[in-house]
Structure 1
């Protein structure tokens, strides 16, 4: 769907005061007060601002603007799909490293760090694996060995090139699932039990002692009831606490940050409180897949400003809430949007009843939305005493 070009660049005054020039920047990438990109403004706080990357779009010679923005605006990149198991090993025993290696090479050329996504997930698995388990030709014992081999092969291949790995992704159910009591869900829990989570972190650490190892999930931006039976954030917190108590080398928890303007969502203080709770365990945090989708009503699709403007404002507010919370917590190392342009967003293809979209910080014509400039303003005007430089995380052994 192509919308009318109704998004104009928001007018945000960005006068940078002299005191900002002396604030820390990441080693090798000094802060440049004349550069108002997200990546450069994040350097004031040693915060890496990133995006998920669609490799087909990155390689498209007819769409050079996509490639330019990825390189100019962001200091860390995540493979949207090409590091998932079905992409890396579509045929058993034969790896296709090409597209993922291309992203790593692009990041190196542009002075960016790479988040590896994802080692263990119940979705986007290769057909040979799932069909083999279904027909009994792959036993549970062999499945565990295959998982061990996959993690080892992938992490060793990228050893020294990945800053953060999403080791285990979305292992916990939601309160609206059946049964409603929160539990470990999906393909891996069904066949290997919950012990695969600790195994995955140990195998990843053995393959790369230096990468930061994250658990990644959605709907964990803030605490709810506090009851682990129905509060997913509390369930994940208790899981992470248990893993740390048993010496499992988990370094961080990633909160995906997939939000929608039709929901109540959270305020900055609620989100900051959740981040601080996780960091009290000795863990780093990150926002790993941020987008804010809206329902595409008839009025939105017709270009009616009365329908569009409230959604743009609500979207910008939600991006800002998550970014402000991340800035407030020194162990929040990175803030990644899940694609930066509506032209290549996953949302319309996934949420279609009712249709949803408008989820990113640029429109389909690569024009920045209000959300983009609100994020820039947050990065510009944040500072001591409430926003301090990031605390580097050392990998747990």
Structure 2
């Protein structure tokens, strides 16, 4: 099978499995699985261990930095990956060394089969027989009802989005009056055995930059971790304005008026740099994709809800897995998935180039790419 990357608006052919994409099969690999079982290493030496899987582009909120309130063009239901298709891709990825699967959206808890997805992913093993970790990023609205079943199915960690503690501000920012539901989801996660529970807050000038200390104190009071995120050019309306972005430096300067901050060493491939608050044990994180990119340690790939592989959140190229997954009765599907994973990894650039004058924002919004 031929790996076909799709640049939004046009298609470009990529060589079929040969050379670096056609490494010998590892011991125990499925028959005909070219390269299955070998690590996913890009041309810059980065070993990939994390696959973000978007389950849907739909969401119960309409955050201004993510998607418009109306006029959204949703993915066709027929193009959304089934549970079997998701698991098939994940099984090959696990054999190739992926150890963490993070479920995203849109809002992943809108999938009626979400517990089954978690259970089947949690049952996968890597090439050494070790288990995998299944995490989730959610707005938390449906967590009180679903969390017990998700934990029983094997969910390991959860991140919940919370940009403000003010009800009117939340309604204006998300275009939905659902703050109490989100807070109930956070309370449910905090009361569960999942640790760490993380809260994600996008810092925005003139919107919530006066709440930074309050948000951190809320996290401390609920024994969860807060991570601030620099606002990125990923809104569907392409209205991102660098001047409205609150930088990592500004965030830390504000927090330093309340706590003594000590940077935690050994970040590795984690997207957030962390700081101890007054010596610990509580920490705060900052994901500074714009002002302090961490591309050199990135170990992540992404799978969209409609079966497109992406090697960067900001990539303008996608690798279409649907033809491979939906070839009837083809015994070489696993080999085709493996080749596509390797083509995607091979095409990964050194960085996202947000700060390059020639940077182009992805055509898809965050909800369609996956958080």
The structure whose RCO (Cα within 8 Å, separation 6+) is larger is 2
Greater helix fraction, Structure 1 or Structure 2: 1
TM-score, structure 1 as length reference: 0.39
